[in-house]
Amino acid sequence: MITGRSIRKNMPLPAGGRRRERRSRLLNTTVAVSVAVAIAVIFGGAGLTAASAATPTVSVASNATFGTILTTGSGMALYTLNTDHDGQSTCHGSCAAVWPPLNIPAGTVPTAGPGVTGTVGSSKQPNGTFQVTYNGSPVYTFVSDSAPGQVTGNNVTGFFVVTVAPATPSTTAPPGNPTTGTTPAPPAGTTVSPTPVVAPTSAPTAPTAPSNGSGSGVTSTAPGALAFTGAGPGLTLLLLLGLLLVFLGAGVILTAGSSSRTATSKR
């Protein structure tokens, strides 16, 4: 049975109706894309914050020669330079290419993992970067350390590995003459390797960060604190963009609904 409603349904829309229909589809597509982008930005930013809070900036590792040493969050050994003072690095250009500084983004606070004693902070350098400090001294990695656990840069061009606790000396006595207690001399023609030095006596002691927080551009956190890094400028911008897209999507939905009601009433 042919009714007036079926006739109207099968009749071609006038030019104005077709334009309204295309406009309505475009608005619906815009709303869907805006909401999807907003959700991705908000949840992605939350995941980034959780990941940065879970991984400490500096940690500790046990080394057979140097004891407990300071490392990056990924386990690479950290060093200090004996010519640095007041949190300011003296390693630039080609030096920084061999001894990369451990930097953090502006607006964030370095965190210390379990077992880190001393003061972990950051210091703004002349080039505008923020370099992590330990007891007030900037820290670096070494390009020749290719894997966690390696310490190949100690006492090289003024750099020394950062020790959190000294190595425990071995209590096993070397075999000696049972009557005299002396160690027998090696056979002629052999070379005796020197005993590894735990830490050179000339190694400078890392300066202690001032208790009142003084010093240009130097900030610090409590020893061993798993401080929350907070949202950096980039993450804050992403979150604001997500909220803006949510409000934009809501406005487009309201506009689309109003246009649909107007078009229906005109029909």
Number of domains in the chain: 2
Q: Does residue 240 sit in the same domain as residue 134? A: no
Q: What is the mean pLDDT of residues 185-196?
A: 43
Percent of the chain at pLDDT above 70?
53
Q: Which residues contact 45 (CB under 8 A, 6 or more apart)?
A: 231, 235, 238, 239, 242
**Candidate ranges 93-107, 175-189, 216-230; pick with highest mean pLDDT:** 93-107
Q: Does residue 63 sit in the same domain as residue 149? A: yes
Q: Does residue 142 sit in the same domain as residue 255? A: no
Position 7 scores a pLDDT of: 53
Q: Does residue 163 sit in the same domain as residue 235? A: no
Residue 209 to residue 122: CA distance in whole angstroms: 11
Q: Does residue 92 sit in the same domain as residue 219? A: yes
**Candidate ranges 136-145, 164-173, 244-253, 257-266; pick with highest mean pLDDT:** 136-145
- pLDDT per position as a tens digit, 14-43: 556 677 777 777 777 766 666 665 565 555
Contact yes or no for 218/121 (Cβ under 8 A) = yes
253 assigned to some structural domain: yes
More confident residue, 145 or 211: 145
User: What residue numbers bound the domain in which 253 lies?
Assistant: 231-267
Position 192 scores a pLDDT of: 41
Q: Does residue 244 sit in the same domain as residue 226? A: no
Q: What is the mean pLDDT of residues 154-181?
A: 71
Contact yes or no for 158/81 (Cβ under 8 A) = yes
State yes or no: pLDDT of 153 exceeds 50. Answer: yes
In 3-state terms, what secondary structure has residue 144?
coil
φ/ψ of 153, rounded to 5, equals: -110, 5
- Cα-to-chain-centroid distance, residue 196: 34
